[in-house]
Structure 1
Amino acid sequence: MSFIFRKLAKMTILIADDDADDRMFLEQALRSIGYSHDIQFVEDGEQLMDYLKQQGMYTEANAPWPNLIILDLNMPRKNGFQALEEIKADARLRRLPVVVMTTSSADEDVLRTYNLGVNSYITKPFNFNRLIEMMGALKTYWIDTVKLPE
């Protein structure tokens, strides 16, 4: 039996995280495991929603449609819970896979995000090598394995 896997011609990961160091480490980890596609960043939930709705400073030209969102919970203006709730309540956005990646390992945060419709919940590691491993697993699953909506 032969399997043919269709790869997305252009893949965009949108990372919503207010910490500049975390954004840098996430990008370095993704690049180190061979992710060569587009990575976009926003710094809070308000920017995330503007990006997804392609409003304000985000237009189709500078805000390519994401195939995957990596979402921190602890952000200013609009936190990750609020942004996740808004994403999953919007018929156009709700199909976007959202992976929460945050420092919290609290059971109530995990439960709350899954109740809001998150696709995966990951606690940020404190070790860069572990972050590389996690990004490798994330890439293998979300980019190399599953079929994502276009």
Structure 2
Amino acid sequence: MPMNTFDKTNRNLSHAKMLVVEDNADYWLLIKKSLEQVLPEVKPVLAQTPEQALDLLNEWSLQEWELPKLILQDLYLPTREDGWQLLKKIKQLPSACSRIPVVILSSSSSRADIEEAYQFGSASYLVKPVDFPGWINFFGELRTYWWETVSLPPVHFSL
């Protein structure tokens, strides 16, 4: 029997955490305020540097319920090379972490950036909205797709 959307939503939002890797305080404020309105069930956790993101993922990897369901990663941290390096390192982590979908979020709409994001293992590439109503709409779409439509894989630890 197929799982209905309500069941998927409940499972995806159960103990939902999102790692947000963003080095710009203004963007973090917009992201946090938008998430509070559109995805209040999800706990956003900020990492301001690639090193902080990797430290958190390594710490959380010891306990399944601590892992985020989604990683929202800015590309320029502060350079795009820093963003690519982080994405590559996440994809090289043990499977419990490397399977978490990484959504690249950037102000850049460069075709090269978009192509490289998918080449390096990003699940999606999204261009940052320009104003608060745009962020609300953005997270409404993100909620519909990543939390209500997609079936996220369960986390399996390898010992």
TM-score range for the pair, normalised by the shorter chain length: 0.7 to 0.9
The percentage of counterpart residues that share the same residue type is: 31
User: Which amino acid is 2:36 matched to?
Assistant: R
C-alpha distance in 2, partners of 1:79/1:97?
Answer: 18
Aligned counterpart in structure 1 of residue 121 of structure 2, from 108, 117, 124: 117
User: Which amino acid is 1:70 matched to?
Assistant: L
User: Which amino acid is 2:140 matched to?
Assistant: G
Name segments (4+ residues, structure 1) moved above 4 Å. Answer: 58-61
Q: In the alignment, does 2:26 pair up with 1:21?
A: yes
C-alpha distance in 1, partners of 2:136/2:150?
Answer: 20
How many residues were matched structurally? 146
TM-score (norm 1): 0.86
C-alpha distance in 2, partners of 1:96/1:112?
Answer: 18
Give the aligned CA root-mean-square deviation in angstroms: 2.4
Kindly provide the CA deviation profile for residues 27-62 of structure 1, in whole angstroms up to 9, marking residues without a partner as x: 1111222432211110011111111111xxx7969x
- Structure 2, unaligned runs of 5 or more: 155-159
> Is the CA contact (8 Å cut-off) linking 2:32 and 2:44 kept in structure 1?
yes
Aligned counterpart in structure 2 of residue 48 of structure 1, from 37, 45, 53: 53
TM-score (norm 2): 0.82
When structure 1 is superposed on structure 2, of 120-129 and 6-15 the one drifting more is: 6-15
- Structure 1, unaligned runs of 5 or more: none
Query: Greater relative contact order (Cα 8 A, min sep 6): structure 1 or 2?
Result: 2
The equivalent residue for 1:70 is 72
The equivalent residue for 1:12 is 17
C-alpha distance in 1, partners of 2:62/2:26?
Answer: 27
Aligned counterpart in structure 2 of residue 88 of structure 1, from 68, 75, 91: 91
C-alpha distance in 2, partners of 1:111/1:69?
Answer: 19
Change (3 A) 1:120 1:2: closer
